[in-house]
Structure 1
Amino acid sequence: MFGVDDEATEAAIRTYVKLMRATHAVSARTAPRLAAAGLTHTQLGVLEALLHLGPLTQRDLSRKILTSPGNLTDVIDKLVKRSLVERVACPEDRRSVRVVLTPQGQTFIQTIFPSHARDIAAAMSGLTAKDLASLGTLLRQLGTAAATPD
């Protein structure tokens, strides 16, 4: 199948397809509430990271939410226009800029995040707590292995 003779490669492809389908299904479950709030998943990721981690540089945000620096600039620009975040110069390094939640942004993300978290939990409710822990471990292993050059 797949035009591949190697069993390990075929198993990897099958698992990859399942991973992508599951990711799509969970994202589709959370998308309507985000769309109603006028947010993309990436915009929510920025707001959530700032809520839980505090002010971050764009470089750190890019790493945390797994998006390119160019895309992140556009995402932050849109959040700035909505007065949800602002860019603040770092006093210790004038070349660096931190992204900070505004008071309006803080209230907004604190209001929307609990519902988003419940949507994720509902999407993943087909798994037990033990399943989720195992999946988390496996995904961490996969991410680490995939990020390691051959």
Structure 2
Amino acid sequence: MGTKFKGNKKEIQALDSFIKLKRASESLSSRVTAEFSKLNISESQFGVLETLYHLGPLCQKELGDKILKSTGNITLVIDNLEKRHLVERVRSVEDRRFISIHLTGDGKKFIESIFPDHVKRITNEFSVLTVEEQETLGNICRKLGKKDTSHE
């Protein structure tokens, strides 16, 4: 179902495309992250653990930027992961104002135990697309994600 908006052809096409993209994204995300509730973990918490696992320790702002969360939200996410002993805040010896977030041993074990199944779910979901379609989708998403609006 597309838009019911009665604008010009360009507006209708853009809105229709946006609606389809949004619905597909929400539906896919819901299916891929359904397991998280069974693991008592939020999508944001998973994002933090996965980012730290693959990139290593980061400061809170960098983590928020990587998983597209605000400073306030990322603080709460890290607080909750810290309560579960999955991450820890480490203050720099050179500059005590700088605090980086590290996976704990338990955090590393946890993400290592759940990440392979997450990858399998994503791979399964994307199996409806050919390799070429996945590459095209990736290029389109990159183009939309990096659109420069400074000249508008």
- Range class of TM-score, shorter chain: over 0.9
Quote the offset at 1:26 in angstroms: 1.2
Paired position in structure 1 for 2:121: 119
Q: 2:100 aligns with which of 98, 101, 123?
A: 98
User: Which residue of 1 is the match for residue 149 of structure 2?
Assistant: 148
Greater relative CO, 1 or 2 (CA 8 Å, sep 6+): 1
Which of 106, 109, 119 is matched with 1:107 structurally? Answer: 109
Which runs of structure 1 show a deviation greater than 6 angstroms over 4 or more consecutive aligned residues? none
Q: Post-superposition shift, 1:30? A: 1.8
More divergent stretch after superposition (60-69 vs 89-98): 89-98
Deviation at 1:144, TM superposition (A): 0.8
Q: Which moved more, 1:73-82 or 1:18-27?
A: 18-27
Matched, 1:128 2:138: no
Q: Which residue of 2 aligns with 1:9?
A: 11
1:119 to partner: Cα distance: 0.9
The root-mean-square deviation of aligned C-alpha atoms, in Å, is: 1.3
- State the alpha-carbon separation in 2 of the partners of residues 111 and 69 from structure 1: 28
Displacement of 1:139 in angstroms is: 0.5
Write the letter of the residue equivalent to 1:80: E
CA distance in 2, matches of 1:34, 1:131: 28
Secondary structure of the residue that 2:85 maps to in structure 1?
A: coil
Residue in structure 1 matched with residue 61 of structure 2 by the alignment: 59
Local SS of the residue matching 1:93: coil
Q: Partner amino acid for 1:22? A: A
Q: In structure 2, how many angstroms separate the alpha carbons of the residues matched to 1:8 and 1:94?
A: 53
Taking structure 1 as the reference length, the TM-score comes to 0.93
Does the CA contact (< 8 Å) of 1:29 and 1:120 recur in 2? Answer: no
Give the fraction of aligned pairs with identical amino acids, expressed as a percent: 41
Question: For structure 1, which segment, 118-127 or 102-111, has the greater mean C-alpha deviation from structure 2 after superposition?
Answer: 118-127
The count of residues paired between Structure 1 and Structure 2 equals: 149
CA offsets per residue over residues 98-130 of structure 1, 9 Å max, x none? 010000000000110110111111122211111
Unaligned runs of 5+ in 1: none
| Matched-pair contact (CA < 8 Å) for 1:26–1:124 | no
Alpha-carbon contact 1:90-1:96 (below 8 Å) kept: yes
Would the alpha carbon gap of residues 3 and 33 (structure 1) be closer, same or farther in structure 2, given more than 3 Å must change?
A: closer
Distance apart, 1:8 and its partner CA = 1.5
1:71 aligns with 2:73: yes
